Amino acid sequence: MMEKFNYCIVIFMVGYLLSACQPSAKNTENNNVMNQQRFSLHLGQQGFKDFSQHNLGRPDSHPSRAGFRELDFTPPNLGQIKVENGENSLVIDHVFSVLGTSFNNEDGIQGLDINAGLNKEEFVRPEQAHQAYVDLMRRINQAEWKNYFYRFSARIAKEDNIRYLMKSGDVIDPTYIFNYEEWKKIINTVGGNTIGYRLYANGILLDLSIKQTQKTEDGKEQYMVRYAFNTIRYDERNSMDDSENNIDTYKMTSKELEQAFANALIRNKKSREIDEKEVIVQGYHIDENYEDPDVWQYVK
């Protein structure tokens, strides 16, 4: 009897070791899927190469001459995207879809729209959602993305951060991470249950929005996060297009472009001064220390 028992143990151990050395087809498939879910993407000409290299969707043209590259992930195998931007590179988890857009082949990929979950799970407890928000903001701050004011808008001071957020839905101090009680009040009160950030780093703009999309009867919550990356070159040139005279910035000479940029600076300053006078009357403070980043180096 003992010999038979020992024999069974030996057979079991051999079978276990063989199975460990040779993963099941399901495990192998899962491992391959996980390996395929992680991509690095650039804006600019390298962006074209990224999508082509990884076969991330076929090019799709639009009557507006815009070109698109798409990438979709199916739950539960969500993606992880690293948006390459030097020291300001940002890793995005729980990605559902990526849309790369180009309006001018010369500039490559000019925009990346990324839709992702705040958490890996679809529905989470409020504490889990808050912790995921905290982790996200820590990554953004570690990558040194800074708040960005358009040149034509009022530069609201950080001391008015929460007040301005509750009115506009926009956060102007990404370095301030809301505690749990603040988070609950804000996300359940602000319009559309959405908070937004406008950030800048190294020639790239990022419009980030975190939206509570659903709450269940048992108190769990669902969140979606949208990351809209655009090159500052595209944003600036697009804002300077002379539509009245049917002249776009890519058809301007270098001197014409420089003059158009200078004219935009003048218009923006006048608009900002008017805007700031209005918000001061409303009781807001102005950030006198804010300095516009040097974007001309990317525009010319």
What average pLDDT does range 47-59 have in this prediction? 75
In eight-state DSSP terms, residue 241 is: -
As a whole-number percent, the residues of the chain with pLDDT over 70 amount to 82
Q: Which tokens go with 183?
A: 């988070």
Higher pLDDT pick, 145 / 26 = 145
Mean pLDDT comparison of 1-15, 101-115, 232-246, highest-scoring range? 101-115
Residue 267, pLDDT score: 94
Tell me the C-alpha distance between 38 and 94, whole Å.
Answer: 10
User: Which residue blocks in 22-154 are alpha helix, DSSP H?
Assistant: 25-36, 45-53, 126-142
Residue 26, pLDDT score: 34
Q: Judge whether residue 32 has pLDDT over 80.
A: no
pLDDT digits (tens, 9 = 90+) for 177-201: 999 999 999 999 999 999 999 999 9
197-220 core/surface letters (b: 16 or more CB in 10 A; e: else):
bbbbbebbbbbbbbbbeeeeeeeb
Q: Which tokens go with 151?
A: 């040149």
pLDDT digits (tens, 9 = 90+) for 64-102: 567 888 999 988 899 999 999 999 999 999 999 999 999
Higher pLDDT pick, 2 / 39 = 39
Q: Judge whether residue 174 has pLDDT over 80.
A: yes
What would you report as the CA-atom Rg of the chain, rounded to the nearest whole angstrom? 25
Q: Which tokens go with 253?
A: 């000479």
Global pTM value: 0.85
Higher pLDDT pick, 137 / 26 = 137
What average pLDDT does range 99-114 have in this prediction? 95
Cα 120 from chain centre: 16
Residue 75, pLDDT score: 87
What average pLDDT does range 248-267 have in this prediction? 91
Residue 248, pLDDT score: 78
Write down the mean pLDDT value for the chain.
86
Q: Judge whether residue 204 has pLDDT over 90.
A: yes
Q: Would you state the torsion angle of the CA atoms of residues 250, 252, 253, 256, taken in this order, to the nearest 10 degrees?
A: -130
